[in-house]
Amino acid sequence: MRIKSFRSVVKNYRAVFFDAFGVLKNHKGLIPQIEKTFEYLEQKGIYYYVLTNDSSRSPEELARWYQEKGLKYITTDKILSSGMLAMEYFKTKISNGNAVAYLGTKDSAHYIETVGLKTIPVAEVDLNYLDEIESFAFLDDEGFNWNDDINKTVNLLRKKNMTVVVANTDINYPVSKNDISVAVGSLADMVEKIIGKNFIRFGKPDAQMFLLAYERALQDTQLRRNEILMVGDTLYTDIIGGNKFGLDTALVLSGNTLPEMANIKISSSGIIPTYVCNSAIVE
């Protein structure tokens, strides 16, 4: 597959959906020169949004990170996260006064609480008094003791039948140049298999994530799906999800798809991006 310059690709679209990790940032911080891309998009009047499988923080907190790094373009309203889908789900479904038990950090739960819902970390659940616990959320891999709290989760979900939401479907995430960490999606997969139930999952490649971003874009302007470019570094989430939703897709080689492996990964996976670019930087 021939590599195209990102400028030559992006100029033909009216809006761009960006994946965050591997596209705009990496383990060291912002990808150098990425601000040029947003200067270009602003100048051309092309809309842009960030789609992220992240339920560990609120859109406000996610945006603050970009602001602090000096990328002023990424504001709260530009961010669409799988955590927002989980929050929206609970807002509609949880009865008044009831609570959502969760695995994750206090921060990850705080976001759900902003709409008036009660949350309770699994560690604090009383297994003998579950009347108020109406649902369960896998929010983050941090903030709890895996040995104790995963076992307690298994037994909680065996004791009371409730809907379980996985707010981030990723199975791992990078923590340094070479190292990765188990993501909450993997912990959820393990618990689901042990108890034999069916969880609800939010996050790319699922269509609901793309729908969330599309609905946000429609608030800004009238546009059809084929006027949108999805930009990502991962075939299995960004590209196949974008393709299926009817978007054009650009695979960038600045993240977990290495340049020397791109062609072999495309042909072995059968996931074919519309374009391949070295990075999302408009040079």
Three-state secondary-structure class, residue 3 = strand
Half-sphere exposure in the Cβ direction for 128 (13 Å, CA): 0
Q: Which of 39, 60, 114, 207 binds its own copies (CB under 8 A)?
A: 207
30 binds its own copies (CB under 8 A): no
Residue 271 or 282: the one with the smaller Cβ distance to its own copies is 271
Look at residues 58, 32, 37 and name the one whose alpha carbon lies nearest to residue 48.
Answer: 37
CB of 174 to its own copies, least distance (A): 11
Q: Which stretch binds its own copies (CB under 8 A): 55-63, 72-80, 101-109, 204-212?
A: 204-212
186 binds its own copies (CB under 8 A): yes
12 binds its own copies (CB under 8 A): no
Q: Which stretch binds its own copies (CB under 8 A): 4-12, 13-21, 55-63, 190-198?
A: 190-198
CB of 147 to its own copies, least distance (A): 5
190 binds its own copies (CB under 8 A): yes
Look at residues 243, 249, 246, 214 and name the one whose alpha carbon lies nearest to residue 231.
Answer: 249
Spatial distance between the Cα atoms of 226 and 99, rounded to a whole number of angstroms = 41
200 binds its own copies (CB under 8 A): yes
Q: How many residues does the chain have?
A: 283
CB of 146 to its own copies, least distance (A): 4
Among positions 88-107, residues that touch its own copies (CB under 8 A) are: 88-89, 92-93
Question: x/- binding map, residues 223-262, to its own copies, per CB under 8 A?
Answer: --xx--------xx---x--xxxx----------------
- φ/ψ bin of 245: left (φ > 0), alpha (ψ from -120 to 50), beta (otherwise): alpha
CB of 30 to its own copies, least distance (A): 25
27 binds its own copies (CB under 8 A): no
* R_g of the chain computed on alpha carbons: 19
219 binds its own copies (CB under 8 A): no
Spatial distance between the Cα atoms of 171 and 84, rounded to a whole number of angstroms = 19
51 binds its own copies (CB under 8 A): no
Residue 67 or 172: the one with the smaller Cβ distance to its own copies is 172
Spatial distance between the Cα atoms of 140 and 96, rounded to a whole number of angstroms = 25
Residue 75 or 163: the one with the smaller Cβ distance to its own copies is 163
Spatial distance between the Cα atoms of 137 and 90, rounded to a whole number of angstroms = 9
Spatial distance between the Cα atoms of 110 and 143, rounded to a whole number of angstroms = 13
Question: For residue 206, what are the contacts with CB-CB under 8 A and spacing of at least 6?
Answer: 169, 241
Residues 108, 55 contacting (CB under 8 angstroms): yes
Spatial distance between the Cα atoms of 271 and 150, rounded to a whole number of angstroms = 34
Residues 95, 134 contacting (CB under 8 angstroms): yes
Residue 30 or 162: the one with the smaller Cβ distance to its own copies is 162
User: Which residues of the shown chain bind its own copies in the complex (CB under 8 A)?
Assistant: 88-89, 92-93, 145-147, 150-151, 154-155, 157-159, 161-164, 171-172, 178-182, 186-187, 189-190, 193-200, 202, 206-208, 211, 225-226, 235-236, 240, 243-246, 266-272
